[in-house]
């Protein structure tokens, strides 16, 4: 599953073919369709969230605080703040 997610977002056609075949061989043809559907949907929904600034719900943030810190998701938010700060400083110069 993880290999398929990574492959579908990459430009490596051979890797994607192999990942697709692995899902087919282990879970069947319908699983290929559903895996493609989910990966593709989240590739789109991420763009909605990130371009409109959709905030994480407070209850979800609280429930996942430890996990988010552990796997480094919090760093993405800090990176955004740094980018805005950098852009502001550049504009002021």
Partner 1 sequence: MSTIKYDDSSYPVRDDLVSAHQRAWKHLSKAGSWLTGDERVKIMAETRHARSCATCAAVKDALSPFAVTDAHDAGTDLPENWVNMIHLIVADPGRLTHGWYRKTIDGGIAETHFVEIVSVVAHTTAIDTFAKGLGVPVRNLPEPQDGAPSHYRPKEARQHQAWAPNIAWDEFGPDEADYFVGPESSIRRALTLIPDEARSFFDVTSAQYLAGPQMRDFSQEFRAITHLQIELLAARVSALNQCTY
Interface contacts to partner 1, rule CB under 8 A: 1-2, 4-6, 8-9, 16-17, 20, 24, 27-57, 71, 73, 76-77, 79-81, 83-84, 86-88, 90
Q: Give one DSSP letter per residue of 61-75, joined into a string.
A: HHHTHHHHHHHTHHH
For partner 1, the closer CB: 40 or 65 = 40
Three-class DSSP category at 54: coil
Which one, 28 or 62, has the nearer CB to partner 1?
Answer: 28
Nearest-approach distance from CB 67 to partner 1, in angstroms: 10
Question: Taking a C-beta distance cutoff of 8 angstroms, is the pair 25, 19 a contact?
Answer: no
Query: Nearest Cα to 54, choosing from 44, 45, 65, 41?
Result: 45
Least Cβ distance, residue 78 to partner 1 (angstroms): 10
């Amino acid at each position: 599953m993880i290999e398929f997610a990574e492959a579908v977002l990459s430009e490596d056609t051979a890797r994607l073919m192999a990942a697709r075949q692995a899902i087919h061989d282990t879970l069947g043809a319908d699983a290929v369709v559903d895996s493609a559907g989910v990966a593709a949907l989240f590739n789109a929904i991420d763009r909605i969230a990130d371009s409109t600034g959709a905030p994480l719900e407070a209850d979800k943030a609280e429930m996942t605080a430890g996990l988010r810190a552990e796997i480094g998701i919090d760093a993405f938010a800090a990176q955004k703040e740094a980018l805005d700060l950098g852009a502001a400083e550049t504009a002021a110069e």
